[in-house]
């Protein structure tokens, strides 16, 4: 049975996939999952690390991608454009282009953000 949203449009069906997270990726710290390639981006100790899957399991140690002076409060990923959105504790919103590691400040004094790919 299909669900309809408030405009009468078909509501997309959600599919859940259970993954085994790496032991080093503590969920008490900002974490985001890229669902297509099953990569996990995790922040800990001023460093964003990337965990890649090998045969359905993750390597014990991730690849350290970026190091920040400020702590990170939240992250989100856009897998269509390979963008990682990062909000630090100084309320700066950054976007990182993961293919080239290009970092850009896109907003200051941002208290909270929610990534919605339909509105980009």
- pLDDT tens figures, 3-13: 776 777 776 66
- pLDDT tens figures, 46-81: 888 888 877 667 666 778 888 888 889 999 988 888
Domains in the chain with CATH codes: 31-107 (2.40.10)
- pLDDT tens figures, 73-98: 999 988 888 899 999 999 999 999 98
User: Cα–Cα distance between 48 and 58 in angstroms, integer?
Assistant: 16
User: Cα–Cα distance between 112 and 76 in angstroms, integer?
Assistant: 12
40 vs 6 pLDDT, higher one: 40
pTM, full prediction: 0.71
Phi, psi of 118, rounded to the nearest 5 degrees: -75, -15
User: Cα–Cα distance between 71 and 82 in angstroms, integer?
Assistant: 22
């Amino acid at each position: 049975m299909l669900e309809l949203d408030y405009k009468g449009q078909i509501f997309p069906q959600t599919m859940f996939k259970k993954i085994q997270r790496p032991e080093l990726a503590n969920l008490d710290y900002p974490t985001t999952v890229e669902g297509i390639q099953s990569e996990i981006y995790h922040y800990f100790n001023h460093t964003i690390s990337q965990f890649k899957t090998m045969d359905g399991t993750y390597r014990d140690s991730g690849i350290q991608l970026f190091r920040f002076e400020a702590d990170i409060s939240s992250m989100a990923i856009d897998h269509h454009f390979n963008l990682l959105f990062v909000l630090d504790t100084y309320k700066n919103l950054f976007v990182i282009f993961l293919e080239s590691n290009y970092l850009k400040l896109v907003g200051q004094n941002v208290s909270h953000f929610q990534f919605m790919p339909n509105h980009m």
